[in-house]
Chain A
Amino acid sequence: MAGSVDTEGFKEHHPAHHFKDADHEFFTVKNGMWLFMLQEILFFAPLFVAYFTFKFIYFEDFQYSAAKLDWKLGAVNTVILIVSSFTVVRAVVAAQRGNNEGLIENLIYTIICGFGFMIVKAIEYSSKIADGVLPGAWMNNAALVEAAPQAPLFYSLYFMMTGLHALHVAVGIGLFAWLLLKAKRRELGPKYYTPLEMTGLYWHFVDLVWIYLFPLLYLVG
């Protein structure tokens, strides 16, 4: 392994003044990142609790509304996100081994996956909007409301949960674009790849949220 590591040609990183050394900085940042994800879980929590509460109260209506979602598009997005989690790991490994081309390649794959996810999401949203299936007071689909009076509430939760998740995906795409820029400047190498590792952790978290959202909204029932 050691022989394959190319430490040459990368920009040197100086740890901030209040850290003992680069490792101290790396593990402190990682610690902070885990804490950040802890707060992220709690940030999503009320939406999940609200979903369970209303599913419990309006079981039939929620089942009926959920069946109107296109599980195939949801499944495509699940595959896209899992693949992108894999390419992120490959990017981190490439950086650790000093393989800058591999790093750039995998960052690009990841960004493509991110956009792919957003495009599928856009297709889903626009078909719903075309049918007048909108959240809460905006619901404009008489047939659906007739069959399931609480469908507006279901779609409120659907749009807010997937919307908040999509917002996280968008932020992730932005971060990867920033990392791509850094990689092109050869700033991410075996000695310093902290922002890459942290964005990777974030991306896995975003992936994981979807892993819960997909069965909860599209599959159950």
Chain B
Amino acid sequence: MHHSPEGTTYLNYPKGLMSWLVTLDHKRIGMMYLASVLFFFFVGGVFALTIRLELFTPEQNLLTADQYNQAFTYHGVIMVFLVIIPMIPAAIGNFVLPLMLGAKDVAFPRMNLASYYIFVAASVMAVATMFFGGVDTGWTFYTPYSTQTQTATTLMLCAAFVAGFSSIFTGLNFMATVHKLRAPGQGWGQLPLFVWAIYATSVIQVLATPVLGLTLALVALERVAGVGIFDPALGGDPVLFQHFFWFYSHPAVYIMILPAMGVINEVIPVFSRKPIFGYKAMAAAIFGIALVAFAVWGHHMFTSGQTALVNMLFSLITMFVAVPTGIKVFSWIATMYKGSIHFDAPMIYAFAFLFVFVIGGLTGVVLATLGADIHFHDTYYVVAHFHYVMVGGTLFGFMAGLHYWWPKFFGKMFNSFLAKLSAVLILIGFNVTFFPQFILGIQGMPRRYWSYIPEFTALNQLSTIGSFVIALGFFLALGYLTHSFFFGKKAGSNPWRALTLEWESESPPPLENFRFDPVVTHGPYEFKGERV
């Protein structure tokens, strides 16, 4: 039943460009996602640097006010819909999830390929808007502005709608895969926590994304057909849009962070040579976060005219998110306690994740507090908070995962020293960029403006300098990873001595993943007698 010839890998068998473009292999599709996501990360990053350059001084430096609006819209839309959301599940998860389950592929390989091409179509549409007048609504498409602006917003709405279906199909596929394609001996209690995290993410993707899809369709219909659902002139209600939008987009925040937590769940026990602390509590916490995610959307609308009672309830429920999150953070720390810690690049990123994510999380509690939020709403405090969670959380989790599974992806090792150096550069650059923004926010600098009062200049300049340190760190990563791809040392099947199934196959794995039928005989984190 194992068809691929001895000595071939998924990278070189079958051969030819066409075999890649129509591949049904989850590993190849994952790598195609990875390439696309990294490309759009670069594009979104260029927009970010452009924004930071404009904000280097209060004067107009290189963008007009309208161009600035477009720049932060593209930065937001590209980073959210084309980078952060698919980054871990669709790219890394696609590759790793079936391997971790001992499966030959995802449940529906053709649907998986369709997801990828739907994603590509959405990306093309999103990029095409740049040539039809651009988009200036921000990534949130708030009505009534989004129904009135004369920019290419309709096309961008369609792009986000289409991207949503890619996300739904991926989530559906992963759920069915976890339900039905686990290896013999692998019950739910033997699943690696990365699988739990991807699974919970998928639940959110399947349940929340359709609401966003239809809502964006309504905004598009509003623009082309004047249906009036969100238009007060026709009896509609713009605040209803906010409810619909955040019903998806708050859970979407957990679509972004849960997979990153999943990566950290794998990295910390492996590099501490210790079983994960509180496996069941960790799995439950993942689901706790996913569940609470659906009941907190109103905290984006404290200033949108909800009643005081509703505000209080959303504030309270939002603080509940801190409970499962706290369980996870303390369990990670407890896992490391008395462990034999190895400081390889994935672990450095895991440390960076913990450090930065805790700041992002705690400032989230501050924002959930009603009185404080009225002051912080739409200031740089919010910008700093969600960058600490999305960049510090998701992106650092992604980088941890990229380095952790890189040897499995390509069968090559990377330069460990340069990897650590780049991780440290990115961590420092990140904090230099975004910590000043907390202070700016507290001092009242509003978000989404191309200028500011002169008193804010010093902190903004610090922030801009930090953003270029981040860029330097990523270019360094691009350098040594490219070098590793072509000239890296052979990795061997299990360079990190991990216990999950993907490491039992070769690096890189062959078509259909395993040359034997994998059976699970031990838990994913049962490290024994290895403490030094």
Question: When the two chains form their complex, are residues B180 and A24 in contact, meaning their CB atoms are under 8 A apart?
Answer: yes
Question: When the two chains form their complex, are residues A39 and B214 in contact, meaning their CB atoms are under 8 A apart?
Answer: no
Question: When the two chains form their complex, are residues B229 and A16 in contact, meaning their CB atoms are under 8 A apart?
Answer: no
From 226 to 257 in chain B, residues with beta carbon under 8 angstroms from any chain A beta carbon are: 226-229, 231, 234-237, 240, 244
Chain B 196-211 interface 0/1 with A at a Cβ cutoff of 8 Å (1 = within): 0000000000111111
Question: When the two chains form their complex, are residues A50 and B207 in contact, meaning their CB atoms are under 8 A apart?
Answer: no
Given A17-B104, A28-B180, A46-B211, A137 contacting B226 (CB threshold 8 A): yes
Nearest A residue to B233, CB-CB: A137
- Determine if B107 is an interface residue (Cβ-Cβ < 8 Å): yes
- We find that the number of chain A residues with CB closer than 8 angstroms to chain B is 37
The stretch of B34-42, B75-83, B171-179, B314-322 in contact with A is: B171-179
Give the residue of B103, B180, B206, B236 whose beta carbon is less than 8 angstroms from that of A153.
Answer: B236
- Determine if A125 is an interface residue (Cβ-Cβ < 8 Å): no
Taking CB atoms, residues of chain B closer than 8 Å to A28 are 107, 176, 179-181
- Determine if A150 is an interface residue (Cβ-Cβ < 8 Å): yes
Taking CB atoms, residues of chain B closer than 8 Å to A47 are 214
Question: When the two chains form their complex, are residues B176 and A32 in contact, meaning their CB atoms are under 8 A apart?
Answer: yes
From 12 to 26 in chain A, residues with beta carbon under 8 angstroms from any chain B beta carbon are: 16-18, 24
Tell me, rounded to whole Å, the shortest Cβ–Cβ distance linking B398 to chain A.
25
* Cα of A24 to Cα of B107 in the assembled complex, Å: 10
Give the residue of B213, B214, B225, B237 whose beta carbon is less than 8 angstroms from that of A53.
Answer: B237
Question: When the two chains form their complex, are residues A138 and B207 in contact, meaning their CB atoms are under 8 A apart?
Answer: no
From 124 to 142 in chain A, residues with beta carbon under 8 angstroms from any chain B beta carbon are: 135-138
- Determine if B215 is an interface residue (Cβ-Cβ < 8 Å): yes
Given A136-B228, A150-B235, A157-B229, A18 contacting B172 (CB threshold 8 A): no
- Determine if A38 is an interface residue (Cβ-Cβ < 8 Å): yes
- Determine if A101 is an interface residue (Cβ-Cβ < 8 Å): no
Taking CB atoms, residues of chain A closer than 8 Å to B108 are 29, 32
- Determine if B136 is an interface residue (Cβ-Cβ < 8 Å): no
- Determine if B105 is an interface residue (Cβ-Cβ < 8 Å): yes
Nearest A residue to B104, CB-CB: A18
Q: Is the interface of A mostly helix, strand, loop or mixed?
A: helix
* Cα of A138 to Cα of B227 in the assembled complex, Å: 8
Taking CB atoms, residues of chain A closer than 8 Å to B229 are 50, 153, 156-157
Nearest B residue to A51, CB-CB: B229
- Determine if A36 is an interface residue (Cβ-Cβ < 8 Å): yes
Taking CB atoms, residues of chain B closer than 8 Å to A44 are 214
Taking CB atoms, residues of chain A closer than 8 Å to B211 are 42-43, 45-46
* Cα of A138 to Cα of B244 in the assembled complex, Å: 25
- Determine if B45 is an interface residue (Cβ-Cβ < 8 Å): no
Given A28-B176, A32-B172, A50-B240, A42 contacting B207 (CB threshold 8 A): yes
Question: When the two chains form their complex, are residues A39 and B206 in contact, meaning their CB atoms are under 8 A apart?
Answer: yes
- Determine if B168 is an interface residue (Cβ-Cβ < 8 Å): yes
- Determine if B373 is an interface residue (Cβ-Cβ < 8 Å): no
- Determine if B504 is an interface residue (Cβ-Cβ < 8 Å): no
Question: When the two chains form their complex, are residues A160 and B221 in contact, meaning their CB atoms are under 8 A apart?
Answer: yes
Tell me, rounded to whole Å, the shortest Cβ–Cβ distance linking A159 to chain B.
8
Given A17-B104, A153-B235, A157-B229, A43 contacting B176 (CB threshold 8 A): no
From 103 to 135 in chain A, residues with beta carbon under 8 angstroms from any chain B beta carbon are: 135
Nearest A residue to B218, CB-CB: A46
* Cα of A68 to Cα of B206 in the assembled complex, Å: 37
Tell me, rounded to whole Å, the shortest Cβ–Cβ distance linking B175 to chain A.
6
Given A31-B176, A156-B227, A46 contacting B214 (CB threshold 8 A): yes
From 307 to 338 in chain B, residues with beta carbon under 8 angstroms from any chain A beta carbon are: none
Give the residue of A16, A24, A49, A136 whose beta carbon is less than 8 angstroms from that of B234.
Answer: A136
Nearest A residue to B512, CB-CB: A17
Taking CB atoms, residues of chain A closer than 8 Å to B218 are 46, 50, 160
Question: When the two chains form their complex, are residues B213 and A43 in contact, meaning their CB atoms are under 8 A apart?
Answer: yes
Taking CB atoms, residues of chain B closer than 8 Å to A157 are 229
Question: When the two chains form their complex, are residues B180 and A31 in contact, meaning their CB atoms are under 8 A apart?
Answer: yes
Chain B 124-148 interface 0/1 with A at a Cβ cutoff of 8 Å (1 = within): 0000000000000000000000000
Interchain Cβ contacts under 8 Å between A and B, 30 examples:
A16-B109, A24-B180, A31-B179, A32-B108, A32-B172, A32-B173, A39-B172, A39-B206, A39-B209, A42-B208, A43-B213, A43-B214, A45-B214, A46-B211, A46-B214, A46-B215, A46-B244, A49-B244, A50-B240, A58-B235, A135-B228, A136-B226, A136-B234, A137-B225, A137-B228, A137-B234, A138-B226, A153-B235, A156-B229, A157-B229
Residues on A lying within 8 angstroms of B by beta carbon are 16-18, 24, 27-29, 31-32, 35-36, 38-40, 42-47, 49-50, 53-54, 57-58, 135-138, 149-150, 152-153, 156-157, 160
**A28-B180, A49-B244, A160-B227 are known contacts; what are 13 more A-B pairs with Cβ within 8 Å?**
A17-B3, A17-B105, A24-B180, A27-B180, A39-B172, A39-B210, A42-B207, A46-B218, A54-B235, A135-B225, A135-B227, A136-B225, A156-B234
Residues on B lying within 8 angstroms of A by beta carbon are 1, 3, 103-105, 107-109, 111, 168, 172-173, 175-176, 179-181, 206-211, 213-215, 218, 221, 225-229, 231, 234-237, 240, 244, 512
